Amino acid sequence: MSSPATSNDREKVVSKLPGWLRQNLKVRAAQHGIEIQAAVEQGIRDWCNLASATDTVDTAGADSFSTFLPPGQWEEFRQIATDRRISLIQGLAQSIQLWLDVNPAPDVERPEITRRIIVCNQKGGVGKTAITAGLGEALAEDANTLHPVRVAKALTKALRASDTQADEAELKDNPLDIENLPGPGQNVLLVDFDPQCHLTNQLGATPLPMNGDSLTNHMAGDPKGDLRDLIVSVDDEAFGGRLHLLPACNDAFLLDVRLSAVRAREAALERALAPLEADYDVIIVDCPPSLGLSMDAAAYYGRRRESEKPGQSGALIVVQAEDSSADAYELLTTQIDDLRGDLQVDIDYLGIVVNLYDSRRGYIATSSLQGWVDIKDPRVVGLIGDLKEQKEAVRVKQPLLSYAPKSQQAVGMRALAREVM
């Protein structure tokens, strides 16, 4: 049946569709960036223009499905379905399946040069590890599945709200600010570059033994095997084998001392990781809270390479909305700027992530957030709340985006991933 709709001069039509076909339609329409009603309209038009019906579609378990179509299209469709002696439900299913066949899932976009994201801040406790893990998880999510993502306007709303010392309710996501989007489907390597092994432990992996091989050994020019053999998969169906981890070892506490005897030590991390790059779209490095030689090596690894576009690789700085983060930020950016000048390289800032934010902490939090927003370059690309789900995920040693995939923090991590893509 159909009833007139007042918007856009279209009419609402109601029929039935099996759940699996409805889900395929939702995902494919999102992958192509079009509205479901536009896909259905095109599918019906193409089906009506065929000389005969297509293959029968299994419509068992079909339930109610509604959409909006141009005036008259449904009546034309009904007549053609009658002429072909098939039900409206079968005709609609064939039309949608035809659209799916004509519009296959697009290929996942792969970068020409492996992107290198350096997550850093020499201040400890700001949540660099949580951001590293969450960003990597969001980038690795399935491209054929829809995931809730906070859209840009929600972040803008939150940042503006900080200027008026909004309470926490003002900063919570409005359902209208959430979109269900396909995952990026990237192949991601997380590198635990911190001797404290927080990233390794949080993801349920085991730190590398002191008497074995490690990233430190490879950077110091004393490898004991193939670095690829140390990599472990973050086994969760949400990531489909696309997310991997290079665990840390406590021997990284001695890295700066060992690097002091290495020639061209700024390039030590790049020399170690370069053989792995062909296997990954993105490599994300969780840096230690340090301004030593290891940070120089990390920043140099994130530099813009020849033929690489600005903003593809670089430093992602994690801060909190409090004064000590501002002091640490100044020290870090000074180090990076000095490295730029000394080595004549371009090191891009990918943005600032304000982590563990809670406006209920009052003026210090809201005014500090406004201070980060006012910087403009680098701009704030993420605002992640201080909520319980992240802490729970760490406690049970599970990825946040599989432990609490619909939580505000997970939704924010996906938004961050799209801001830096």
Rounded-to-10 torsion of CA 127, 348, 281, 343: -110
Residue 33 is given by DSSP the state T
Q: Does residue 357 contact residue 367 with C-beta atoms inside 8 Å?
A: no
Task: Judge whether residue 8 has pLDDT over 70.
Answer: no
Q: For 168-225, write each residue's pLDDT tens digit.
A: 444 444 544 889 999 999 999 999 999 999 999 999 999 999 999 999 999 999 999 9
Classify residue 188 by its DSSP letter: E
Per-residue model confidence as pLDDT tens digits over 217-270 = 999 999 999 999 999 999 888 899 999 999 999 988 889 899 988 899 999 999
pLDDT (0 to 100) of residue 237: 86
Considering the chain, what percentage of its residues have pLDDT values greater than 70? 92
> Quick one: pLDDT at residue 397?
94
Q: What is the pLDDT of residue 6?
A: 46
List the helix and strand counts (H, then E) for the chain. 17, 13
Binned at pLDDT 50, 70 and 90, residue 361 comes out as: confident
Q: Please, what's the largest Cα pairwise distance for the chain?
A: 83
**Mean pLDDT, residues 349-366:** 89
Q: Which residue matches tokens 């911190």?
A: 194
pLDDT at 111 over 50: yes
Q: What is the mean pLDDT of residues 291-315?
A: 95
Of the listed ranges 7-16, 141-150, 285-294, the least confidently predicted one is 7-16
Tokens representing residue 215 in the block: 């990233």
Query: Which residue type sits at 260?
Result: S
Alpha-carbon distance of 167 to 14, in angstroms, equals 42
> Beta 314-319 vs 146-150: how paired, if at all?
unpaired
What region, left, alpha or beta, does residue 351 occupy, with left being phi > 0 and alpha being psi -120 to 50 degrees? Answer: left
Domain 115-420 has CATH 3.40.50.300: yes
Facing residues of 65 across strands? 15
pLDDT at 35: 94
pLDDT value, residue 1: 41
At 50-102, the pLDDT tens digits run 999 899 999 999 999 999 999 999 999 999 999 999 999 999 999 999 999 99
Amino acid at 371: G
- The residue behind tokens 């201080």 is 386
| Token pair in block for residue 394 | 């760490």
**Cα–Cα distance for residue pair 12/6, rounded to 1 Å:** 9
Instruction: Determine how many CB atoms are found less than 10 A away from the CB of residue 13.
Output: 24
